[in-house]
Amino acid sequence: MSVDPLGAQKEVLNQASILGLEITVAVAYESSFKTQGAKSLCCLKVMISSSLSSDESIGVGGGRSTYLGAASIVHCLENYKPHVIITSRVADAALFLAPMEGGWKGWGEISYGGHQCLKRAQAAEYLVRSWMGERYPDIDDKIVSYIMGYDSLKAIGINNDSYSSKQVIDARLRMDGLFELEEHAFEFVEEFIALYTNGPAGGGGISTGQRKEIILQKILVDRENIFWRAHAKKASIPCLQNQAAECEMVRMHILQSQKNPTNRAMGIPRVDTSIETLPSPVRASHGKKIALYHIAHSRVGDKGNDMNFSVIPHFPGDIGRLRAVITPDWVKDVVSPLLDLSSFPDERMIQRQINLLELVSVEIYNVPGISSLNVVVRNILDGGVNCSRRIDRHGKTLSDLILCQEVALPS
């Protein structure tokens, strides 16, 4: 698939023609114009055309990463009635980003395996925090730590009886700190490296690093200062409706030709994926606890320190029952483990998590057109992608955290 909007439109139209699909594909993309004595200018005016003029380009990076907002999409829907709209990123407001200093980050990872590996990881974390606290009092809140993998299982509510700490045979401790001074980040890394000589026995696979962190300041750009173009094309169908039988034969031939002819020669079993009728979605049973991924799918997005995730039921009729389960309190409870400062929190850290959770707010929006929910969670991403101390800075994997929760839908 092409990476720029115009190339993607061409590819979609080509595939639709091959499959005999009569669809309209609209495209909206950034457009920059050069004038005498000036660089790229911007305006709200919409140009409707199927080709670029000589003094026009399609924007930085082929226009694939520009925040255009919703105006261009609304224009396409109103004017072209398309089946598919291809555009770049969408945001409610255009953004101008300027770099600012954001402090210094230091991090370290170390592995422990075998008997009581979790206890040794806990001791290692305690030592690093203690060493840092002796040198720099009141800096502990700048550090977060977690056991990779094991903490994920705790977050999705794994039963302690079915997966106890005694069954863990290897643990990977990670600690991240975001500090105001370079000296703090340097000493943090030095103390973490000292685990090899002064820490619990058996640690290995150590990895550390430090760098200056940059935070982007966001400034809104007025819509009248945004260039964009839009147009639509229809797929060219090689056969007419009265030739439907011939089209079907062409499609079957294409599908057969796409199968790998070397499969049998290599001893790979050939799986027949063709089915006469598509399976119908089945409604979830009521009153029985099952993982949410059996009922719906989800995707996560991020904006600064906020995230939003969709909840789209496999069976559209389940949306009413999902609304009864997915409430703001339910969401806050699910995401609360993200605010842990440690895998082994003491009373002070637990209180710190409670204080952070009070800053978290949840907004749930119904999206009736596609029978789904859009859930916005504010102040949950550890400051956002540019200063987060988490491995998944964007929070893209958090849809798994949501979907692994067990729910019981009402009747």
Q: Is it the case that residue 62 has pLDDT exceeding 60?
A: no
User: Do you know the residue count of the chain?
Assistant: 411
pLDDT of residue 176: 93
The mean pLDDT of 137-148, rounded to a whole number, is 87
d(CA 59, CA 223): 16
What is the average pLDDT value for the chain, to the nearest integer? 76
pLDDT of residue 383: 84
d(CA 32, CA 55): 9
Read off the pLDDT of residues 344-390 as tens digits, 9 standing for 90 and up: 888 888 888 899 999 999 999 999 888 999 999 999 988 887 778 88
Among 110-124, 126-140, 158-172, the range with the most confident prediction by mean pLDDT is 126-140
Q: Band of the pLDDT at 328, cuts 50, 70, 90?
A: very high
Q: Is it the case that residue 279 has pLDDT exceeding 60?
A: no
pLDDT of residue 254: 54
pLDDT of residue 308: 92
pLDDT of residue 157: 58
Quick one: the chain helix, strand, coil %, rounded to 5? 35, 25, 40
Strand-strand pairing, 228-234 and 46-48: parallel
Q: Band of the pLDDT at 48, cuts 50, 70, 90?
A: very low
What 3-state class would DSSP assign to 200? coil
Q: Flag the least confident range among 21-25, 131-135, 146-150.
A: 146-150
d(CA 344, CA 145): 9
Q: Is it the case that residue 25 has pLDDT exceeding 90?
A: yes
pLDDT of residue 230: 86
Select the CATH number that applies to the domain covering 99-217 from these four: 3.40.50.880, 3.20.20.60, 3.30.9.10, 3.30.70.600: 3.30.70.600
| Phi, psi (deg, nearest 5) at residue 341 | -90, -15
pLDDT of residue 96: 54
pLDDT of residue 1: 45
What is the rounded (10 degree) CA torsion for 281, 282, 283, 285?
Answer: -150
pLDDT of residue 235: 86
Read off the pLDDT of residues 79-102 as tens digits, 9 standing for 90 and up: 999 999 988 765 544 455 555 667
Q: Flag the least confident range among 103-107, 240-244, 363-367.
A: 240-244
Delimiting residues of CATH 3.30.70.600 domain(s) in the chain: 99-217
**Is pLDDT larger for residue 335 or for residue 160?**
335
d(CA 356, CA 360): 7
CB neighbour class for 295 (10 Å; exposed up to 12, middle 13-18, buried from 19): buried
**DSSP E strands: which ranges in 180-227?**
204-221
Among 222-226, 249-253, 328-332, the range with the most confident prediction by mean pLDDT is 328-332
The mean pLDDT of 14-18, rounded to a whole number, is 89
Return the sign of the alpha-carbon dihedral for residues 74, 61, 8, 393: negative
The mean pLDDT of 44-72, rounded to a whole number, is 50
Read off the pLDDT of residues 229-239 as tens digits, 9 standing for 90 and up: 888 998 876 65
pTM > 0.85: yes or no: no
Tokens of 382: 């550890």
Read off the pLDDT of residues 297-314 as tens digits, 9 standing for 90 and up: 999 988 888 999 999 999
Count the alpha carbons within 13 Å of 246 in the hemisphere toward its beta carbon: 7
Nearest in space to 407 (alpha carbons), one of 339, 305, 318, 282: 318
**Is pLDDT larger for residue 49 or for residue 293?**
293
| Phi, psi (deg, nearest 5) at residue 294 | -75, -15
